[in-house]
Structure 1
Amino acid sequence: MRQIECHEEEIHLCGKIQFFGFLFIFDDSGCIAASENLVELLGTPMKNILGLPMNRVLPLLSTEVEWNLVEIDKQINGEIFVRFVERIRVKEVDYYLSIYRYDRKTYLEIEICNEDHLKATRLFYYAKYLEEQHGNAWQSLTVLIRQIIGFDRVMVYRFEEDSSGQVIAESLADDMDSLIGYRYPEFDIPSQARALYTKFLARHVADIDAPTIAVQGRDAAEIDLTRCSLRALSPVHLQYLRNSGVLASASFSIVIEGKLWGLVACQNRKPLNVDLAQRHLCAFLTQYAINYYLSEHQKENLVAQTIMGVMERDLKSELLVNHDIAVVLERFAPQIMELAVADGLMIKHDRGFKTWGDVPTEQFQQQIDRYLDQLGDNELFATSNFVYDVNEAMESTIFPGIIRINILPSNTWYIYLFRKEHVYEDVWAGKPEKIYQYDPERKVEFPSPRTSFEAWREIMKGKSTKWSRSEIAFVEKVAQITQQAIAQRGGEIAQLNKELMRSNNALDTFGYTLTHDLKNPLSSIKLAAQMMLLKDDLPKDLLRKMANNIMDATTLITEMMDKVYQLTQSNSVSFKLELIDPQIKIMNIVESCKQQFGVTHLEFVLGQTLPVQAERTLLYQLFLNLIGNAIKYSSKKEQPLVEVYSEKQDNSVCYYIKDNGIGMDIQDKANIFEIFKRLPNSQAFEGSGIGLSIVKRIANRLSAKVSVESELNVGTTFCVKFKG
């Protein structure tokens, strides 16, 4: 007896469409197949339809539209998949007609329009809504799609590593129970269905109990309906929906880096059609949410990489000047453990071992080493589900999360990182088990759709939280830095150390600015572009000013990137000092920051601006951080005030940046210039604690001195003293 699996069903070759539409398929010879309900639409037998070329079919559907077949052909035969769409009226009913190319054939679909017309003006509102929901793009997406299609439930369903899925966002009718956090087993969406989701991003069924329409014609059963919006769903899928109490369904694919990351799954308890315009809008908003999610994810990665990069730099510097590797690694062990988000750390070398935090017992450590010795993996090993041989009498804490990395090749120096067991409860939408039925005629077993979706709970044990890619890469970097430091030892240590410090200073100055100071010129470009898009009648003077702002911003970005490129080519960056009057740059910074922080009522006072010896890009970044902070931290005052002025002192020029903002309670003034150092009263303002660290480094590079005076709730004054 043969057992048939879900993934063996060829759902893209079903030969049927849903009741609310009509389908033609053409090749070079003309119409080779069509849905049998076209006889009713056109009032002509099927034999009169088959064989007709498209240029004769289109006038039969509508004489009101001027069909330009050359333009249609040009649109649908491009490098990317594009539909030609036209709204037509047949027998007093409105339809969407769409034409596209696939599998060397041309498909013409006709489907009914819903009565409610979508307004293009709403698109701007939808985009703003997604952006303004404080990072929760998926939840915002479910709210918007439910508004657009009117379904009872819209949820975002994310696929996990084991290919099961979990509901992470949801919008639903008031009388429905939430499914947030519920898991669904892998076999609920078989592999061939997932493959179709990556090719065609919007699928729906208007009424699971409605009759389907057969496709007639040449090789109709073999025609590939992968990209057909009207394709009828698999009987197994329809029964699955019926069992879950759903009569209409829609889904929009979330594809990230070419892989199916998840689905926007929509369910309705009554039949309801989602027409072509609604589906296109929902698919567009889903892509917009994907881009927003990726942007936020990238920002988090940049912050994490910056923090890790600071420790890596300090470790490298220390290893080059301290010959005792064990002492250096032990000094940095707490930081390594914290940045890798581990519960414990152990360094093992030829002189013994030392631990920090919580680590396994000696007996468990021996089990780890025996397993890895048998595995022969001496470089890097990482797992979140290490299985110990546990005696029932043992009450020790379990550490399934392990990273072990070899610090010195051909040696027994290792760093171990440990994570404790993470016990949690999984809630499944029905028990995750596959049930088979027997077909006596075919003498085969086939999978039966699940009938229960009630919460089924399972306690998950034996695993830790998974190590992220960035955490593993960070540990690898620690080992790499250690190995490079040892390799660079020898007669050139003093010279290497000198070059390293010079390179680090340049790297500090420009590396952090890629995620910090570039925001300002990019904001200028964005604001100018938005104004140009939103207003069609801008005066020429204003357009010229905005164009100049864009040119200045792009020039600045280019200069910054040029210096970063220099870093990749050499150990240092050469800076050209010149006499600069910063007045114009200061005014540009003020105008940009007023927009960035929404301080249009700012009172700005600019005093005397004396020229100083500096490098243009560095000077801009220095004033950008100091003036930007002054505007930001005074932005919540009723009458925010910022002053910038300079004065001559002996052979020096002093610039003062003064504000009436929140001020600082600073007992040790040097601490505020430490990277990622943020004072308690600044937590309500956006920031990462990098800005003043950049100011300090730039001042050092320009041989300037920076000082600060501040009083809590009164204001702050920074002074930058440049050499004459």
Structure 2
Amino acid sequence: MSEPTPQTLDLTNCDREPIHRPGRIQDIGAMITVDAGGVIRHASANAGDYLGVAARDLLGRPAIDVITPEVLDALRRQAAQARGDAPEHCRAIRLHERGTLVDVALFDSGGLLVIEAEPADSAGGHELARRVREIVRHLDVAGSHIELCQAGADQLARLLGFDRVMVYRFDDDGSGEVIAETVRPGVGSFLGQRYPAADIPQQARALYRRNWIRTIADVDGPLVDILGDGAGVLDLSLSALRAVSPVHLEYLRNMGVSASLSVSIILNDQLWGLLACHHYAPRAVSSQRRTAAELFGQIFSLALQSRQIRDEADREAKARSVQDLVLARVAATRTTTRELGALLPEIAATLAADGAALSVQGDVRLWGEAPSREALAGILDHLRREPPTELRIVESLGEWHPAGGSGLGDAAGMMVLSLSRVPRDYLIFFRREYARTVVWGGEPVKQVGPLGDRLTPRKSFEAWQEVVRNRCAPWTPLDRRIGAGLRLTLAEIVLRLSQELVDEQQAAQQRQQLLIAELNHRTRNILALVSGLVAQSRAGVERADGTATAAMAFGQLEGRVQALSRAHDQLTRQHWRPAPLRDLLAQELAPYDTGPRRVRLDGPDVLLTPRAFSTLALVVHELATNAAKYGALSAVHGSVSVVWQRQPDSALRIAWQETGGPPVQAPLRQGFGSTFVEQSVPFDLGGEARVSYEFEGLKAWLVIPAAHVQDGMAQPAAPAATAPTATPQKRSGRVMVVEDDFIIALDLRAALRRLGVGEVATASTVKQALAAIDAAPPDFALIDVNLGGETSFPVADALAAREIPFAFVTGYGDDAAVLGRFAGRPVLRKPFDRTALASLLPAG
């Protein structure tokens, strides 16, 4: 029987393959599942190698029969902490007394606890973390976007030792391109090659978004069946051992690849691309090393996103400066189409356009590589026949308007801004042809093979070139945002030109529409500014360049987070019921209450609902921070008075008064803090807010509606925080941090060093901490309560036995039930601030 003739098809059967339910795993580890009653329901055929009991004999057996009870309890505790989108891990444990050291991954699948075991890595987690820190430093010095991607490929290859590491970026159409690569000498390059969207099916992309890392140890290695009822429908989306689609294995074999590993690159919660690793011999990567690679991928994604935010912000700032220039010139002269036409070169430059056309009231102005007037008339006529839209993108002008012919000139694509509804005025930007040669990794068409409807992978990976003609360079989302901003700016000017030709009613309607659009535009800018503040504050701290701007931005962000944290703690102590206003004010103002009559609080005992309590906590924080920087609390003899009382309608009126500070002037611009003070109470609570910048001191009035206020006895205020220390004290001795979260450990170490501590040691497990205490006893220790699947109480016992002072670090707050017999010990609550941390340290 002859083979069917290959034919070109647009098949999606790869997209229908249930790759998350393969019913098998790779042989680099073993797997069992345990139901809620503790009974083993599934076992991989090789599970006996890890548990000492034949796999079939495990089915239906209590897990406690084959796993040491203490270990099983630890696994259950760890599994209880698992998020729905990520496994939890236990490192270097023995499942039973005679078992070897294994790394274990835990996740839920349809109500079953999945336990995966692999041989433990001989390299310690600290060593891998140190290596990740070292290679991440190389990302900071990368210049351009492409240089950052190349640094990512180079450093991941250094961490994992694969023959080839690529940065693979997805385009809007789903196809991908290798934009950076590092390869072992003698291995051919894939740099610059593109691959069609069908090479990575949709369900595979969904798994890449859900699971950051995917490994194939050996494309020809044996696969291990999962035994037990329903093994074929067991969802292994979060499994590190999950068997790979036979289609994908054949795909890799055709490339000559024996092992692969992929790390997702996720920007703004979308799959942007992959860090794809190939090896030309089998290569198993341990669980700990994969975790290090996953951490690197997440840091790389953040760095890439931060770089994109910065680059886009720079370009948008340039576009806004051009818009300001246009408005300034228009304001200085009598506006006509001729004056606007003269500004086309500056306007077009913000969009990298090669030509432009402005058509207002039938008056047409052309600049640069634009179509002829006759061809433009056809384009305008075509636009007026189509449904109206504020912004239209055309990347192939010849396909959109074939009748244009040679009159289109060098214009290949356009962006159309609609400046009015009637009589349909337009500003059009043109781009010339972006003729380019696309190098595909094999012809970008899949064919039906001998298996019929089952798709066979492409077997040729030789470069196949395609010349793309008659299209412009793509218009990016940033281009669209800049275009939308230009449209709003120019629409106002065009409206001014049109007012004499329309009646007053039509003009009023257009002004209203324009104002609504402008308000929407400005609102989006405010939201983008807040998002940029967070991203740039983080980026400034990550760069650690020491600039005052970065430090101030981070300090503001940290202060707001701490204010919310304090409010949350107070509400938690009230079991999330209404909490006392007096406690809130005392907590926020305690750091500044440093002398007689420095802070005065006066009013009846009232309680605020949790919603009002949280909102008011940030409002008071902003007022206090402003007073400490610029107002009464910045002066030695300055004071703040807060007086509150119930009104006849039972609403609560709060008056804030500053005196004794420097002369007050109204700010030239309104920042986030003042905006929040004046608008959050009306917006969130339906109340009122007013701020008055009086010469003798700032005044503010807030009215909280009665629905958010109750009469009640005030609870004792929280202990006052110590005043912030201006400069770190020099502290002698050695501090040990016991924390199993890498990022929190780094944060604590950096904070301690900023406070003047010379030597900081870290440990992530009880075993490591006890060994460190024996080797070099610290002078002080900070220990997290929960360290993965174990508590830190043995470390606390060892420190107490040596009379070494220590404090707990925990997100549980000061709950005595959590600390048990150590309830009297100091506690540093997460998220911690520098003041609280400094108060715990012994003096040098």
Letter in 2 for 1:81: A
Q: 1-side partners of 2:420 and 2:72: how far apart?
A: 75
The unaligned stretches of length 5 or more in structure 2 are 505-510, 512-527, 541-546, 559-590, 592-623, 631-666, 681-690, 698-726, 728-844
CA contact (8 A) 2:384 2:424 kept: no
In structure 1, give the amino acid aligned to 2:118.
E
Shift of 1:38: 1.6
2:41 maps to a residue whose letter is I
Q: Residue 475 of structure 2 corresponds to which residue in structure 1? A: 467
1:360 aligns with 2:367: no
Cα distance between partner residues in 1 of 2:224 and 2:494:
73
Distance 1:188 1:221, change over 3 A: same
What residue is the counterpart of 2:763 in the other structure? none
Asked if 1 retains the 8 angstrom alpha-carbon contact of 2:420 and 2:495, the reply is no
Q: Equivalent residue of 1:433, what SS?
A: coil
The TM-score with structure 2 as length reference comes to 0.57
* 2:707 match: none
Aligned position for 2:138: 129
Return the alpha-carbon distance in structure 2 between the equivalents of residues 151 and 479 of structure 1: 50
Which residue, 433, 440, 461 being the options, matches 1:428? 440
Matched with 1:706 is none
1:153 aligns with 2:158: no
**Partner residue, 1:192:** 203
- Paired residue for 2:261, among 229, 238, 250? 250
Q: CA deviation at 1:385?
A: 1.8
C-alpha distance 103-255 of structure 1, shift in aligned 2 (>3 A): farther
Match of 1:71 in 2: 77
- 1:88 — aligned with what? 93
Mapping of residues 621-640 of structure 1, within 5 Å: none
Amino acid at match of 2:77: E
Once residues 432 and 137 of structure 1 are traced to their aligned partners in structure 2, the CA distance between those partners, rounded to angstroms, is 28
Distance 1:455 1:574 in 2: 70
8 Å CA contact retained: 1:4, 1:445? no
Give the 5 Å matches for 1:352-501. 352-377=363-388, 379-388=390-399, 394=406, 397-439=409-451, 444-484=452-492
Q: Distance in 2 between matches of 1:49 and 1:306?
A: 65
Alpha-carbon contact 2:375-2:407 (below 8 Å) kept: no
Structure 2 residue 270 is matched with structure 1 residue 264: no
Q: Select which of 153, 162, 181 maps to 1:142.
A: 153
TM-score w.r.t. the length of structure 1 is 0.66
Displacement, 1:406? Answer: 2.4
Secondary structure, aligned partner of 2:67: helix
Separation in structure 2 between the aligned mates of residue 353 and residue 555 of structure 1, nearest angstrom: 58
- Which digits, 9 at most, give the CA deviation of each residue in 1:197-227, with x for residues without a partner? 1111111111111111000001111111111
- Would the alpha carbon gap of residues 311 and 290 (structure 1) be closer, same or farther in structure 2, given more than 3 Å must change? same
Gap change, CA 1:69 and 1:474, over 3 Å in 2: closer
Distance 2:284 2:117 in 1: 14
1:16-415 maps to which residues of 2 (within 5 A)? 16-29=24-37, 30-59=39-68, 67-68=73-74, 71-76=77-82, 78=83, 81-89=86-94, 93-117=100-124, 119=127, 120-135=129-144, 136-319=147-330, 322=333, 324-377=335-388, 379-388=390-399, 394=406, 397-415=409-427
Q: Report the CA distance between 1:138 and its aligned residue.
A: 2.0
Query: How far did 1:17 drift?
Result: 0.5
CA distance in 2, matches of 1:201, 1:307: 36
The 8 Å contact of residues 165 and 183 in structure 2, kept in 1 or not, is answered as yes
Q: Quick one: which amino acid aligns to residue 468 of structure 1?
A: T
The secondary structure found in structure 1 opposite 2:314 is: helix
Amino acid at match of 2:108: R
Q: CA deviation at 1:392?
A: 13
Q: Once the 2 structures are TM-superposed, how far is the Cα of residue 124 of structure 1 from its aligned partner?
A: 2.5
Q: Report the Cα offset of residue 147 of structure 1.
A: 1.5
Paired residue secondary structure (1:402): strand
Opposite residue 8 of structure 1, the aligned amino acid is R
Q: Distance in 2 between matches of 1:529 and 1:352?
A: 51
Cα separation, 1, equivalents of 2:283 and 2:475 = 44
Q: 1:14 aligns with which of 18, 22, 32?
A: 22
2:449 is paired with a residue of what secondary structure? Answer: strand
Displacement of 1:372 in angstroms is: 2.2
Aligned residue type for 2:137: K
Which deviates the most, 162-171 or 297-306? Answer: 297-306
Distance 1:337 1:54, change over 3 A: same
CA shift digits 1:274-314 (9 cap, x unpaired): 11111111111111111111111111222222222223234
Aligned CA distance change for structure 1 residues 378 and 217 (closer, same or farther; 3 Å):
closer
Q: Secondary structure at the match of 2:307?
A: helix
Q: Deviations over 1:686-724 (max 9, x none)?
A: xxxxxxxxxxxxxxxxxxxxxxxxxxxxxxxxxxxxxxx
The corresponding residue for 1:632 is: none
CA distance 1:191–1:528, change in 2 (3 Å): closer
Pair 276,346 (structure 1): closer, same or farther in 2 beyond 3 Å: same
Letter in 1 for 2:439: V
Asked whether the 8 Å contact 1:58–1:67 carries over to 2, the reply is no
SS in structure 2 of the partner of residue 101 of structure 1: strand
How far 1:568 sits from its partner (Å)? 9.5
Structure 1 partner of 2:673: 562
C-alpha contact (below 8 Å) 2:442/2:462 kept by paired residues: yes
Q: What is the identity, as a one-letter code, of the residue corresponding to 2:93? A: I
Instruction: Judge conservation of contact 1:4–1:446 (CA < 8 Å) in 2.
Output: no
Matched letter for residue 110 of structure 1 = A
Would the alpha carbon gap of residues 94 and 523 (structure 1) be closer, same or farther in structure 2, given more than 3 Å must change?
same
Contact 2:419–2:494 (8 Å) recurs in 1? no
| CA distance in structure 2 between the aligned counterparts of 1:279 and 1:431, rounded to whole angstroms | 33
Is the 1:75–1:84 Cα contact (8 Å) retained in structure 2? no
Is the 8 Å Cα contact of residues 173 and 197 (structure 2) preserved in structure 1? yes
CA contact (8 A) 2:104 2:116 kept: yes
- The Cα of 1:92 is off from its aligned counterpart by 7.2
Cα distance 1:448–1:351, how it changes in 2: closer, same or farther (>3 A)? closer
2:221, 2:424 → 1: CA distance? 69
Answer yes or no: is the 8 Å Cα contact 1:75–1:82 preserved in 2: no
Quote how far apart the aligned CAs of 1:59 are.
1.3
Change (3 A) 1:70 1:220: closer
Give aligned-pair identity as a percent: 25
* Equivalent residue, structure 2, for 1:520: 548
- Deviation beyond 4 Å, 4+ runs, structure 1: 1-4, 89-93, 114-118, 317-323, 388-396, 485-491, 511-519, 524-530, 551-560, 563-569, 573-579
Deviation at 1:527, TM superposition (A): 11
Of structures 1 and 2, the one with the larger relative CO (CA 8 A, separation 6+) is 1
Q: Which amino acid aligns with 2:480?
A: I
Q: What is the alpha-carbon root mean square deviation over aligned residues? A: 4.3
Alpha-carbon shift at residue 240 of structure 1 (Å)? 0.6
Q: Output the CA distance in 2 between the equivalents of 1:325 and 1:416.
A: 18
- 1:397 deviation in Å? 3.1
- Report deviation, 1:126: 2.4
CA distance in 1, matches of 2:51, 2:382: 73
SS of 1:68's equivalent? helix
d(CA) in 1 for partners of 2:282 and 2:356? Answer: 58
Native 8 Å contact 1:16 1:214 kept in 2: yes
Write the distance in 1 (CA, Å) between the matches of 2:694 and 2:307.
Answer: 36
